[in-house]
Amino acid sequence: MTDPFKEITSARWTIRSIIAAATTGLGLFAESGAEMTLSFHLNPLPSILLGVITGAGGGIIRDVLVAKLPRVLQVEIYASAALVGAAVAVLGHVLGVAATISSVAGVLVCFVIRVLSVSRG
C-alpha cells in the first residue's frame, strides 16, 4: 500500500519543478531578446519590449501547443515579470555594467518576481 501523503508531496515537487523550469526559461528568453536587440544598437525601450515579446511569446506558443489558455491572459504575473527582467538587463547595459552581470541580474529578477507571484497566488 502506498502512502497518499508521499504521492501528494511528490506531485507538488513535480509541479514546482516544472514551474521553476518554465520561469527560468521566461527569464532567459526575455533577457536574451533584450540583449539581442541591444546588439543591433537599438534604443533601450524597443529592447525591453522585444525582450518581453520574446519571453512571453515562447510561453504563449507552449500553452497553445498543449491546448491551454495562455498564462499571459490569466491573472498570474507573467509578462510583467519578463518586462522587469528585461528592463534590469537593459538598464545594466545602459549603465555600462558587465554584460554577464546585467544578464544574470535580469534573469534573477524575472525569476524572483514570477516565483513570488505563483507562490502568493
Give the model confidence (pLDDT) of 3-31 as tens digits. 555 655 677 788 888 888 989 999 999 99
What pLDDT, on a 0 to 100 scale, did the predictor assign at position 69?
87
pTM of the prediction?
0.85
Break the chain into its structural domains and give their ranges. 4-120
> Tens of pLDDT along 54-103?
999 988 898 899 998 887 887 678 899 999 999 999 999 999 999 999 99
What pLDDT, on a 0 to 100 scale, did the predictor assign at position 91?
97
CA of residue 109 relative to chain centroid, distance: 9
By 3-state DSSP, what share of the chain in percent is helix, strand and coil, each rounded to 5? 80, 0, 20
- Name, in order, each residue with C-beta under 8 angstroms of 87's C-beta and a sequence gap of 6 or more: 48, 106
